Amino acid sequence: MDIKAIGIVGAGQMGNGIAHVMSLAGYDVLLNDISEDALSAAVELMSKNMARQVSRGKITDADQEAALARIKTTQTLTDLGQTDLIIEAATERESVKQAIFEDLVPHLQPHTILTSNTSSISITRLASRTDRPEKFMGFHFMNPVPVMQLVELIRGIATDEATYAACKQVVDRLGKTAASAEDFPAFIVNRILMPMINEAVYTLYEGVGSVQSIDSSMKLGANHPMGPLELADFIGLDTCLAIMNVLHDGLADTKYRPCPLLTKYVEAGWLGRKTQRGFYDYRGENPVPTR
């Protein structure tokens, strides 16, 4: 099918990044959020990020102007029913996602494809709560969306080939690379990445190394661009904990048990960069380790 209009649920970090790349690729974008402030902030951030791309010669002024003109916003979720493809990018809680899809279903066109940007929740289970499990799949972008080249495409048990092909065509048009994943907890990237981050937190918890030594070891010893604790702060410690819980619950293996120290940081509200404190304190001029 020929996808022209894309609806995006959620104007946060992921939603605005997805809207950014979709509009630059020539799609009409309708961005939804319950907060008018969040929608305004998202458009402002997209404009600023595109201006940075212009200054680096990645896009032209005309590209930016045309892309921003393709983006419309709405606080009414059901307005998205007229689009060809919907990407849900709300908070990583299954109950929230289910409620969104249940509200959308009565307003969809027959051909509309439903997708979720979930990083770990079962696509099959989400799809089963809709009227079109064959037209439902996982569409998982990496953060920050304009920079990261990978998109995980996750088929649920009922997803048909036409739906997969249509989503793959969108990824190709974005100039990104699709990785096809099966519907098991956390898919590919987070199935591998999150246990590594969790193990880094255990290494800190057990006193094997400090925040600084753990991150330096992985950057200089394994050539990682960011240390695992620095990366955890960037992702959000609440998100890391949520994904570890999905892995632990879904696979019933003790190797996925979230580190108690990770739980403690989340309980303290120290969620990383977004709250100014996590494994590093970001309130000063330079990040300072908190342990």
The residues assigned a catalytic role are 119, 140, 152, 190
Distances (CA, A) of 228 to 214, 237, 284: 8, 11, 21
Which alpha helices (H) appear in 161-259, and where do they start and end? 161-174, 189-205, 211-221, 228-235, 237-251
Write out the E strands in 15-169. Answer: 28-32, 71-74, 85-88, 113-116, 136-141, 150-155
In the chain, the N- to C-terminal Cα span, in Å, equals: 53
Pair of tokens at residue 71? 């983006």
Beta-strand relationship, 288-289 and 280-281: antiparallel
CA distance 240 to 265: 11
Structure tokens at 72: 């419309």
Phi/psi zone of residue 202: left (φ > 0), alpha (ψ -120 to 50 degrees), beta?
A: alpha
Q: Beta-carbon neighbour count of residue 2 at 10 Å?
A: 7
Helix axis angle, 189-205 relative to 211-221, nearest 10°?
140
Going from the C-alpha of 176 to that of each of 116, 151, 173, the distances in angstroms are 18, 7, 8
CB 187 within 8 A of CB 138: yes
Distance in angstroms (rounded) separating the CA atoms of residues 75 and 11: 10
Residue 70 and residue 26 in contact, taking contact as beta carbons nearer than 8 Å: yes
